[in-house]
Amino acid sequence: MSLIVHKYGGTSMGTPERIRNVARRVAKWARAGHQMIVVPSAMSGETNRLLGLAREVAPASTTAAVQRELDMIASTGEQVSVGLLALALQAEGLDAVSYTGWQVPVRTDSAYTKARIESIDDARVRADLASGKVVVITGFQGIDGEGHITTLGRGGSDTSAVAIAAALKADECLIYTDVDGVYTTDPRIVAEARRLKSISFEEMLEMASLGSKVLQIRSVEFAGKYRVPMRVLSSFTPWDIDLAEEARSGTLITFEEDENMEQAVVSGIAFNRDEAKVSLLGVPDRPGIAFQILGPVAEANIDIDVIIQNVSHDGKTDFSFTVHRNDYARTLELLKGTVAPRIEAAQVVGDPKICKVSIVGIGMRSHVGVASKMFGALSEEGINIQMISTSEIKTSVVIDEKYMELAVRALHKAFDLEQADAAA
Amino acid sequence: MSLIVHKYGGTSMGTPERIRNVARRVAKWARAGHQMIVVPSAMSGETNRLLGLAREVAPASTTAAVQRELDMIASTGEQVSVGLLALALQAEGLDAVSYTGWQVPVRTDSAYTKARIESIDDARVRADLASGKVVVITGFQGIDGEGHITTLGRGGSDTSAVAIAAALKADECLIYTDVDGVYTTDPRIVAEARRLKSISFEEMLEMASLGSKVLQIRSVEFAGKYRVPMRVLSSFTPWDIDLAEEARSGTLITFEEDENMEQAVVSGIAFNRDEAKVSLLGVPDRPGIAFQILGPVAEANIDIDVIIQNVSHDGKTDFSFTVHRNDYARTLELLKGTVAPRIEAAQVVGDPKICKVSIVGIGMRSHVGVASKMFGALSEEGINIQMISTSEIKTSVVIDEKYMELAVRALHKAFDLEQADAAA
């Protein structure tokens, strides 16, 4: 007998019929002898509907008092879901009970709309499991030290599921989602993209943060920190498929030391088309210059991704970074109007038509020549590299947006990712 | 400075624009120096939508486990309302905070979907009021001893508002609703019907239970028990009408001893068209016969209203009672199939086309001849009385349904109810 956590997204909970199918799937696992905890998201569209009502009632504001009320409102979406799913489970003949975040309780800090989980009390849930109940717990929310409802921010239900799995020491946390696993790259771009049977949580972190939006990145961080085995699998398979087959499906997010890991040097190709690059040219190379540039950008609440500063010549250097494309105009304005005059930079240039392509793989740590193989493959296709950024397990390049698909396909082929059985 | 509780129904909370108007009205009271607590219902249609989803997911059931989940689901309607109203109040420049039932907490028993309030902790709310906050509290719900969410049943927000007013020793509880007060009878039937400036809570209890559906009857019981001055007034007046005028409007539900009471013998005419009567004729008159008849009816979950048993002759008597018209067929079947054979009654007869008309008034206690005046007025119109039932402050008759309007108008006139200023 194992303790298993299932997490279902908003699409899986989208209609009463789909909720009944989730209940049937959970019932199959429970009848096979597993202790079951289920964490469903709000019904699809519900969180947007609720926050839309809030916006219609009062203008948006970032004061804590306003954010608190937004959490009060948004948290009801998941509360409805757990109640409905518990009813559906009872209709399947199971003993089921639902809990909100405050009932467990899932304790968080007080950062309304983006709270972080601090601790989870497992006593109540454990007692229910011991008495044979399926326990349904709201994702996305908790309670702070003052008894106020908090939410974890968009996609927070993944994090809730993993955190609950960690607190209860579950054997596995299964994330049922719209896709059937993590792929070597986006199958819409490379037809030969292959589903990975497993991926290390560090690789998954890079894949997720680089735009493979399968999982909320904080849930992967949590899984890594607490060593919770986590599986991404499809919620679109029939609920009555063979349990053993279902339990092996999807992609397992695991730990470096695991025996079963695929040993490919590069596990996947990630990409991100939502970025823009900006450069300050002819910047006097003196201590504190990076802070003088990026401080005002951060203050303006603009997130920065890749940052490049090359060696200087003649006491001048060029400083480049990428931002979300939506922030491009605002960033340029800020640099031209405020930053460049203050630091006496010669020129501000930018380009919103860029993209970032990355190779990700634990194997890169111990294999030399991976980066040069990447650059070679791009060179063969005549693709000019504008920026390069590396970490232990990934290498990213910024290139002209129009070459994105070409670059992803060339790299997928260069690292033999399409050869499923050979690499696995 | 007074402590005032406002309660707003689902219609008042029906759209973002209406919610903003509620906030403006509350702000007017707060700016006049009053400490304010607001208890809003769920947005109109929301509770039905939520319970409809529940029915689509799983068949209805009366087990506690199912009822618990229904409360989990239904309670979110009010939670959304309090959050939205707090946002709207903040947008009006007020310091406002919302609480669910469990946050106050409002403690109830565990009778899911029809729980009763046991106690209300006033510490948190009182601290907020002292610091100048407007406190918005969910109606309709609470928390039981085990930390489960409970709801009070339909219309429970009225009861919540009065209970909160009682716990906080509020100066007045204002129930804003679709009607502008309590009338001597339904103005759709008697054009001359007059709004009462005040009514005793005992009269209000009779009026409410007799079908004047202005207030949930339990809220009136609460107001009586804890002596909370309660006012029913219109939510359709412009939010910016003069506060003093608004504070005098509607109908005050008060106590017998109050000086300001209207001294009419009869305060109003109530009626109910939803009833049907059944009679067992030729019943052997022996001890326990009433229980033998009504026990099976109660077991079948059929509510009984008026019960009449007259003196017997030749050891036989006739036993009549009224039920809701929806239960008429089921009641007849039960009596004919089971009850009548067992007690050896001669015959079972019934009539679904009846109605009940009642005169209600504290003054009846000390005035003789009120009932006979009623019977005389009906007789003058040629209306035959089928059943009579009396209490200290009301007299009810069951008559043919087709005479209902005629009877109500005749009685309204006979007791001079249209002469507003003379009676007030």
Answer yes or no: do A87 and B58 touch at CB < 8 A: yes
Rounded to whole angstroms, the Cα distance separating B367 from A421 reads: 99
Q: Give whole-number Cα distances, A237 to A21, A234, A246, A279, in Å.
A: 10, 6, 9, 48
Per-residue pLDDT of B142-196, as tens digits, reads 999 999 999 998 778 999 999 999 999 999 999 999 888 888 988 888 989 999 9
Per-residue pLDDT of B308-355, as tens digits, reads 887 777 888 888 999 999 999 999 999 999 999 999 999 999 999 999
Of A69, A102, A148, the CB nearest to B87: A69
Q: What are phi and psi of B172, to 5 degrees?
A: -160, 145
Residues 6 or more apart whose CB falls under 8 angstroms from that of B180 comprise B195, B233, B234, B236, B237, B249, B250
Closest of A337, A230, A210, A186 to residue A275, by C-alpha: A210
Could you tell me which residues of chain A have a Cβ less than 8 Å from any Cβ in chain B? 16, 19-20, 50, 53-54, 56-59, 61, 63, 65-66, 68-70, 72-73, 75-76, 79-80, 82-84, 86-88, 90-91, 95-98, 100, 102-103, 147-149
> Which residues of B are documented as binding site?
7-10, 47, 78, 177-178, 183, 188, 213-214
Query: Bridge-partner residues for B38, per DSSP?
Result: B6, B136
Residue whose pair of structure tokens reads 């009848």 in the numeric block? A31
Strand A134-137, strand A96-99: pairing: parallel
Q: What single letter denotes the amino acid at residue B371? A: A
Residues of chain A with pLDDT under 50: 260-262, 421-424
Alpha helix ranges (H) inside A193-336: 201-209, 217-226, 243-248, 289-299, 328-334
Question: Two tokens at B168?
Answer: 């906080």
Q: CATH topology for A3-179+214-228?
A: Carbamate kinase (3.40.1160)
Question: Two tokens at A66?
Answer: 């306003």
Answer yes or no: do B58 and A102 touch at CB < 8 A: no
How many other β-carbons are positioned within 10 Å of the β-carbon of residue A123? 8
Residue whose pair of structure tokens reads 């990428």 in the numeric block? A322
Answer yes or no: do B68 and A96 touch at CB < 8 A: no
Answer yes or no: do B87 and A70 touch at CB < 8 A: yes
Rounded to whole angstroms, the Cα distance separating B152 from A165 reads: 35
Per-residue pLDDT of B220-269, as tens digits, reads 888 888 999 999 999 999 999 999 999 999 999 987 555 544 566 888 99
pLDDT value, residue A134: 98
pLDDT value, residue B303: 85
Closest of B339, B345, B269, B355 to residue B302, by C-alpha: B339
Of A57, A61, A149, the CB nearest to B84: A57
Instruction: Sketch the domain layout of chain A as residue ranges.
Output: 3-179+214-228, 258-424
Answer yes or no: do B100 and A72 touch at CB < 8 A: yes
User: Considering chain B, what is the average pLDDT of its residues?
Assistant: 90
Cα Rg of chain B (Å, integer): 24
pTM of the model: 0.84
Q: Which helix (H) or strand (E) holds A279?
A: strand A275-284
Residues 6 or more apart whose CB falls under 8 angstroms from that of A245 comprise none
Residue whose pair of structure tokens reads 């001055």 in the numeric block? B229
Secondary structure (3-state) at B197: coil
> Which residues of A are documented as binding site?
7-10, 47, 78, 177-178, 183, 188, 213-214
Rounded to whole angstroms, the Cα distance separating B63 from B76 reads: 21
CA angle B319, B325, B329 (to 5 degrees): 75
Residue whose pair of structure tokens reads 């399968």 in the numeric block? A214
CA distance A2 to chain B (A): 25
Rounded to whole angstroms, the Cα distance separating A343 from A319 reads: 12
Cβ atoms B183, B240 nearer than 8 A: no
Per-residue pLDDT of B103-127, as tens digits, reads 999 999 999 999 999 999 999 999 9
CB pairs under 8 A between A and B: 115
Rounded to whole angstroms, the Cα distance separating B326 from A323 reads: 67
Question: Two tokens at B376?
Answer: 């005389």
pLDDT value, residue B210: 57
Residues 6 or more apart whose CB falls under 8 angstroms from that of B275 comprise B305, B306, B322, B323, B324, B325, B354, B355, B356, B398
Cβ atoms A340, A279 nearer than 8 A: no
What's the DSSP call for residue B144? -
B37-54 average pLDDT score: 96
Q: Which helix (H) or strand (E) holds B386?
A: strand B385-390
The matching CATH number, chosen from 3.40.50.1000, 3.30.2130.10, 3.50.50.60, 3.40.50.10860, for A258-424 is: 3.30.2130.10
Cβ atoms A370, A414 nearer than 8 A: no
Beta sheet of B347-351, edge-to-edge order: B304-309, B316-324, B275-284, B347-351
Rounded to whole angstroms, the Cα distance separating B84 from B14 reads: 11
Residues from chain A contacting residue B75 (CB–CB below 8 Å): 79
Residue A105, preceding peptide bond in cis (omega within 30° of 0): yes
How many other β-carbons are positioned within 10 Å of the β-carbon of residue B368? 8
pLDDT value, residue A187: 85
Secondary structure (3-state) at A191: coil
Lowest average pLDDT, out of A54-63, A254-263, B82-91, B282-291, goes to A254-263
Instruction: Name the residue in chain A with its Cα closest to that of B51.
Output: A84
Q: Give whole-number Cα distances, B117 to B6, B112, B213, in Å.
A: 19, 12, 22
Residues from chain A contacting residue B70 (CB–CB below 8 Å): 83, 87
Of A66, A84, A90, the CB nearest to B90: A66
Of A20, A54, A72, the CB nearest to B57: A20
CA distance A381 to chain B (A): 55
Q: What single letter denotes the amino acid at residue A135? A: V
